[in-house]
Structure 1
Amino acid sequence: MSLSRKGYKTINHKDVQYRWLLRNRGGINEASIYAQAAIGGRELIAQLPRVINVDLITAAIDFALAHGWSPNEAGETMRCRSRRGVFEVLEVPVK
């Protein structure tokens, strides 16, 4: 099943296209990030500060990839958070 494209923005980072959508849930900004071509791939949810630019999205992608996020494979959603410019994993996905 493919995801809706409504509201998502596209970013090209290191020759891979990602879709991302920014939401505010309970006063916390969350970016939902997917690989553009992946069907049934893993989602990345990054909690971000109030002021957001595209560099934070790419930093979240780099952090997640370095910590085991594989956007083209099925699996658990990975969650991370930016705190004072440094990302940290919120939940370790079970493999």
Structure 2
Amino acid sequence: MTGSGQLLFPSPRSDKRAISDNTLNAALRRMGFKQDEMTAHGFRAMAATLLNECGKWHPDVIEQQLGHIEGNDVRRAYVRGEHWSERVQMMQYWSDRPR
């Protein structure tokens, strides 16, 4: 998927850095989305909202998939599961969802 590089979306200036949120936000503006309609980070918020609302997935699984770090220091020290099989199932569910 990445060709000869390590990043899926490398910066046009350096293949060592990923594109920025600003790159994605600029693309959204060119597509006609206003700033109060959609942002690059808005896709993550949308996924978190829809996955939580469907009730199929434990919130820890969703948070792990989004790459969020547990805010509670004690809980973060003890809860280290990656929930891999559930995350794979969740992403298949997301992929199969009707649009």
Say which structure, 1 or 2, has more relative contact order (CA 8 Å, 6+ apart).
1
Query: Could you state the TM-score of these two structures normalised by the residue count of structure 1?
Result: 0.24
**Higher Rg:** 2
